[in-house]
């Protein structure tokens, strides 16, 4: 046998020994993880199973590590978490710990139903509390955006998103139809603008509000218009004396002007032209 062949045989043998040793070591680690699960040391077992060498060789689908993770939860409050992990394991799975997983699935189905009922009860209690706190009010400036649906005007009917200053800030406009005035109404009765989670503007439309700012539920038009908007620094006294339907002289910035009057202009550029024509 030539020297070259001998060297080649030695090299192949060494590679095989290394591969066998590699597989054997991680195999022992995997077996250790299985033993730890049986001993209920779930967190320690999971750490081993999440090692890429172990998972790639012995737990490619991650079902065993998923089981080890699930076993660390055991209360009704954890039913949602357990359910999310169970959804990652096929219902017909019959591998290692297959029987235990099937039993856990059955038990968790019951716990998950209890959990959902308790969650619904908590949600109803929270909404009841919010209704009690805000149900006699209408949206107001400074109010948290998440509470606007709990006021006496109910849930909004439309929602619009806008971006200004090249996306530097965003405005969300919520629109309510005047259903408190007429249950079949499609007319806009209220607009609420929000930024950074807070109400910044409340705009109440003609006829649909009483003089004290409450919803007009009489169905009879009230000749009154209430519009709440942010105050802007005034221009000169001379400019303020000029007559303008939009009070354009009260604005320092065309974006702010468009922001408050966008319904009356085709686009921002039209509002900007109007602002410039009347302010300079």
pLDDT at 235: 38
Asked if the structure places residue 128 within a domain, the reply is no
Residue 131 lies in a domain: no
Task: Return the pLDDT at 8.
Answer: 58
Q: What is the pLDDT of residue 176?
A: 95
8 and 97 belong to one structural domain: yes
Same domain? 226 vs 241: no
Question: Are residue 109 and residue 22 in the same domain, yes or no?
Answer: yes
Q: What's the chain's average pLDDT?
A: 81
- Residue 75 resides in a domain: yes
Residue 126 lies in a domain: no
**Strand arrangement of the beta sheet that strand 188-195 belongs to:** 158-164, 169-177, 188-195, 198-204, 227-228
Distance CA 252, CA 192 (A): 22
Same domain, 113 and 7: yes
Residues 209, 140 share a domain: yes
Structural domain of 225: 136-230
- Banded model confidence at residue 217, pLDDT cuts 50, 70, 90: confident
Q: Does one domain contain both 11 and 74?
A: yes
Residues 48 and 148 both lie in one domain: no
Q: Is 66 left (phi over 0), alpha (psi -120 to 50) or beta?
A: alpha
pLDDT tens string 225-275: 333 333 333 333 344 434 567 777 777 777 777 778 877 777 777 777 777
Give the model confidence (pLDDT) of 129-144 as tens digits: 999 999 999 999 999 9
**247 and 278 part of one domain:** yes
- Does residue 114 lie in a domain region? yes
> In this structure, are 191 and 270 located in the same domain?
no
Residue 101 inside a domain? The answer is: yes
Please answer whether residues 259 and 173 qualify as being in contact, where contact means their C-beta atoms are separated by less than 8 angstroms.
no
Distance (Å, whole) CA 65 – CA 25: 18
Q: pTM of the prediction?
A: 0.52
pLDDT digits (tens, 9 = 90+) for 19-74: 454 457 778 888 899 999 999 999 999 999 998 888 888 888 899 999 999 999 98
What is the Cα–Cα distance from 198 to 155, expressed in whole angstroms? 17
Take residue 214 and report the two structure tokens written for it: 């409450």
**What is the per-residue pLDDT for 73?**
92
DSSP string, 60-111: TT-HHHHHHHHTT--SGGGHHHHHHHHTTS-TT--STTHHHHHHHHHHHHHH
Q: From start to end of 114-248, where are the E strands?
A: 158-164, 169-177, 188-195, 198-204, 227-228
Percent of the chain with pLDDT over 70: 80
Provide the pLDDT for residue 231. Answer: 38
What three-state secondary structure class fits 12? helix
How many domains does the structure of the chain reveal?
3
Give the per-residue pLDDT at 253: 76
Q: Based on the domain organization, do 16 and 79 belong to the same domain?
A: yes
Mean pLDDT for 74-88 is 91
Tell me, yes or no, whether 151 and 213 share the same domain. Answer: yes
Read off the pLDDT of residues 153-185 as tens digits, 9 standing for 90 and up.
Answer: 999 999 999 887 666 788 999 999 999 988 888
Could you tell me if residue 124 is inside a domain? Answer: no
Is 127 contained in some domain? no
């Amino acid at each position: 046998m030539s020297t070259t062949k001998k060297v080649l045989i030695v090299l192949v043998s060494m590679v095989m020994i290394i591969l066998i040793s590699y597989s054997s070591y991680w195999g022992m680690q995997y077996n250790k993880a299985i033993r730890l699960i049986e001993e209920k040391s779930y967190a320690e077992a999971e750490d081993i199973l999440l090692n890429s060498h172990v998972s790639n060789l012995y737990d490619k689908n991650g079902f065993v590590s998923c089981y080890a993770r699930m076993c660390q939860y055991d209360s009704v409050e954890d039913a949602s978490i357990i359910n999310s992990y169970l959804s990652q394991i096929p219902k017909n799975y019959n591998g290692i710990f297959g029987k235990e997983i099937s039993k856990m699935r059955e038990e968790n189905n019951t716990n998950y139903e209890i959990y959902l009922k308790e969650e619904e009860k908590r949600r109803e209690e929270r909404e009841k509390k919010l209704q009690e706190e805000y149900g006699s009010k209408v949206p107001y400036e400074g109010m948290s955006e998440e509470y606007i649906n709990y006021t006496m005007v109910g849930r909004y009917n439309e929602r619009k998103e806008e971006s200004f200053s090249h996306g530097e800030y965003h405005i969300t406009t919520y629109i309510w139809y005047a259903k408190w005035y007429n249950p079949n109404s499609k007319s806009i009765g209220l607009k609420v603008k929000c930024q950074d989670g807070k109400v910044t503007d409340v705009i109440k439309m003609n006829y649909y509000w009483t003089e004290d700012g409450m919803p007009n539920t009489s169905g009879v038009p009230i000749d009154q218009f209430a519009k709440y908007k942010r105050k802007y620094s005034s221009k000169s006294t001379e400019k303020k004396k000029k007559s303008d339907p939009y009070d354009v002289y009260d604005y320092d910035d065309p974006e702010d002007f468009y922001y408050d009057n966008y319904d009356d202009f085709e686009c921002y550029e039209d509002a900007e032209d109007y602002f410039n024509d009347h302010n300079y």
